Amino acid sequence: MTLRAQVYEALGTVYDPELDEPITTLGFVGSCVVAKSDVSVRLRLPTPQCAPNFAFLMAADARAAVLTVAGVRSVSVVLEDHYTGEEINGAVNDGQRFADAFPGETAGDLRALRELFQRKALLARQSRLLASPATTLGELSGPDADRCRALRRALGIDASDDAPAFVTGDGTPVAASDVRFRRMASLTALSLDTNGGMCRDLLKTRYGEEVAA
């Protein structure tokens, strides 16, 4: 595998925290250039006014992901055409925090925000698994189940094979037949899917038809 392919694969592990989808499939990676061992990534979003906090997380996560690839010496991540691009690019490429990018405009770091959306993502993912009769996580398989495991691990919720198959956003075990849980899970999934669809449409309007699937 070429270094560029490895770098692109690493970018595929970066999720839009709000949509729970990889930035590569969303079309947010405008370009990825590898010159010897120096990487340059350009990110682009559906609108110039996309929320700065999520934009920062994606840019910082992209940088961190590329730096884990063996053979990469340096990486530059540039968020294009965004109204806080200058602040975000400066801080991300210096390895600084969100608060450094927006001094005086934050009350904390972005951990709580990320966690909130991981809980929503977990709820939404489970809505696609509700048809399964599984009672333990080990009985669930496929991409959605794998993503549930990753989200549970990130949130400190038991992700072992013996753990309960379904949990609420805060990790409380719940039966797949629980009507309230089913309703909330499908509503949250609809919300994420709708937002993802709108982001795709707006990105296409902004950058034309060449945008990835």
Task: Provide the Cα torsion 193, 196, 198, 203; round to 10°.
Answer: -160
Supply the minimum distance, in Å, between the C-beta of residue 20 and another protein.
Answer: 13
Of 70 and 179, which has the nearer Cβ to another protein? 179
Alpha-carbon separation of residue 16 from 49, 70, 89, 140 (angstroms): 16, 24, 17, 24
Supply the minimum distance, in Å, between the C-beta of residue 142 and another protein.
Answer: 19
Of 165 and 185, which has the nearer Cβ to another protein? 185
Measured between alpha carbons, how far is 67 from 207 in angstroms, rounded to an integer? 28
- Residue at 161: amino acid letter: D
Of 71 and 95, which has the nearer Cβ to another protein? 95
The alpha carbon of 117 is separated from its chain's Cα centroid by a whole number of angstroms, namely 9
Supply the minimum distance, in Å, between the C-beta of residue 186 and another protein.
Answer: 8
Side-chain half-sphere exposure of 184, counting CA atoms within 13 A = 15
Binding residues for another protein, rule: CB under 8 A, are 18, 46-53, 83, 98-99, 102, 105-110, 112-113, 116-117, 120, 179-180, 183-184, 187-188, 190-191, 193-195, 197-198, 201-202, 205-206
Q: How many helices (H) and strands (E) does the chain have?
A: 8, 5
Supply the minimum distance, in Å, between the C-beta of residue 172 and another protein.
Answer: 17
Supply the minimum distance, in Å, between the C-beta of residue 9 and another protein.
Answer: 29
Of 74 and 205, which has the nearer Cβ to another protein? 205
